[in-house]
Structure 1
């Protein structure tokens, strides 16, 4: 009888010991799973934070010309539609880099005439990430060098020489263009807006000027653009011109596939006299502009 009781107690002891061990293992397993879950949550949180941080400074397009090619190694970037052999060419150095692109236009010569004007411009019309539509918020940056830019010495008609454009397809007014006008650099926007960016650019001839344009593209008056510049030797950008509480996307044909895109180079708004001859103000026949570091950054 004593042996039976001893065996019975031993069996109960072993059963209790097994239960306790299982509980310990279960507790340890649960703790491990919680720790793993907490770690995963932290990673997800950090990843989301990184994505959010990246989204506020996300480079969508970058033509820095370090490929040494006229399209900067970007498929569907076109350097020019002008046929002159020197309408677009590579040069060295660029802005603290090996290469940049040059555009040249000489009035009166057919090789520099394209798209119904004397122009030689690169564009990113067929690069999806470079396009803009209502609802987007973008930063556009570029550097320009006005090579031996002839100066105005009279009050001849101030035809502009465009050096950068934010355009829309379909023939609607250009949302924002930057151009020289006599000895100033100005912005034209929408159908009739005008503003001075640099009142006298002559001290900056044959020097690099960095431009930055922040835009919120809208179809109502909640949009804006802000234009900044930075001269050689400067660290910070200076706000030069802004248009707030404005409609910035000028297109009216979105239902027909209209889109916004960028152009950079030289586009001369040469006038004509009564006989159809090109008016050459102050005998300024040729304009050459260098461009480098054309970037589009996502801000939204």
Structure 2
């Protein structure tokens, strides 16, 4: 129809995304904007968040708020800023996380293992829980929803080391429990993404904060045994994982779905990880 513009799947919604300064969080923010939503991105690096805001060219519809998902006060303040700026909250995307770079239990001593566990679980699991706690009241008001970023490591071994895999299984359980507790007013679903070309960092406690996936691995190492990569050459870029986030956030298209996880991992469960398990370490 000439002279009309089709509305996006999230037209008029307001979304809050943690870890929105890079990787899948940034890609989801950009996709949500394209689908008609207004977006708040939350993360530790204020300059990185501002760069994302400016890159969109839509400053009136996106806000960056600096803070730490381990800090309940900063999360509550960020949700308050979201409502003050855009009037409501419809979609929550707990996404901020770190990876353990396949560190096997055989490669860390007790002190390092304990420190990595405390840091990674504080961000990957407690950070999700605190984000939901800060936001659920606003989501109840709008009959909104939560879309959690999970991982192939939420279902299979060798998507990380012991600590990361444990954290992602924990998030899978957290999703199920939250879907139960927040029903019927708030839907809770997740996207289990696969390996991608991203800036995902590691635990500072074991010297991996400055290491990124994109800077550490060749494309062939990121794709691994993924069955779909030969046919979909760009499918390790974060933007190519955003479709399920739109589907699950859409009240029109997923209004009767809760407690579910879309496995957007390129079918890795079909073929498995082989000798990539725990960095290739075997006893």
Under a length normalisation based on structure 1, what TM-score does the superposition of the two structures give?
0.29
Of structures 1 and 2, the one scoring higher in RCO (CA 8 A, sep 6+) is 1
Which one has a bigger Cα radius of gyration? 1
Greater per-residue strand proportion: 1
